[in-house]
Amino acid sequence: MTTLSKPTKALELALATIRKHHPDVRPAILTIYRHESTRLGHYERSCWTSNGQQIANSPAGNEPLDEIHIDSIVLDDGPVEVLHTILHEAAHSVAVTRKIQDTSRDGRYHNARFAVLAHELGLVCAAHPRHGIITTGLQPGLTMRYAEEISLIRESTGLSQRRPESTTTISGAAEEEDEGKEEKTNKNRQLKLTCQKCGRIIRASQRSIDAGPIACVPCLSVFIPEDEA
């Protein structure tokens, strides 16, 4: 019988290592299944409880545990993308520990506070006009830190699941529609960016924009290009 027990174990070990490096990541039950949405991962606080029995991994023995869900379709994207998704959801866990409001719109919009946490966990961030902050990958050197975990994930995942043709997904975030925008070739051209909250305007090169989100500190928001405002 073929099951997802091996990849689940590998992902649990990866989460345990992440918690060693980042103690503010809360204990969680890790689940893998195909979710009928376009999210590749999901974090939910205190959703697992016990009927009087001790809960494994719970610090208090019977304290409700969080869930970090990884959509099974991510397993086909390779171990680095799987780790990326776990780290994205772990950033939400840190936000709960520190009592930080890192999202809005039922978790669909990630704000500048989330960008700080995601960067702390080793993720590369970018600004998206509809979803706020999205994570786009791992920072240089992070694959070395988690080399053993990446190897275990690679060895445990031998299954592939068909991706729905009607959607395109971003790891750890909601769907991104293909808007047919052509990539700008002049990386040094100064572009106008606007704060999504206060309307303050700055200018930056495309190279600076591509490097990561530019925060408006007073508003705890991000600047986005004028054509996306």
Res 159 pLDDT > 50: yes
Mean pLDDT within 123-127: 89
pLDDT at 185: 41
Q: Which two tokens stand for residue 215?
A: 């925060």
Q: Which residue has the higher pLDDT, 59 or 206?
A: 206
Q: Quote the CA–CA distance of 137 and 131 in Å, as a whole number.
A: 16
Residue 172 has a pLDDT of 47
Lowest mean pLDDT among 3-12, 46-55, 176-185: 176-185
- Residue showing tokens 């704060």: 195
- Model confidence over 177-210: pLDDT tens digits? 333 333 434 445 677 778 777 777 887 776 666 6
Confirm whether pTM is higher than 0.75: no
Q: pLDDT higher for 215 or 168?
A: 215
Whether pLDDT at 119 is above 90 = yes
CA 66 to chain centre: 16
Residues contacting 148, CB < 8 A, separation 6+: 17
Ramachandran region, residue 134 (left: φ > 0; alpha: ψ -120 to 50; beta: rest): beta
Greater pLDDT, 43 or 131? 43
What are the tens digits of pLDDT across the range 80-106? 999 999 999 999 999 999 999 998 877
Q: In what order do the strands lie in the sheet with 201-205?
A: 201-205, 190-195, 221-225, 215-216
Please tell me the chain's helix, strand, coil percentages from 3-state DSSP, rounded to the nearest 5. 30, 25, 45
Higher pLDDT, 167 or 155: 155
* Minimum mean pLDDT range among 17-26, 161-170, 192-201: 161-170
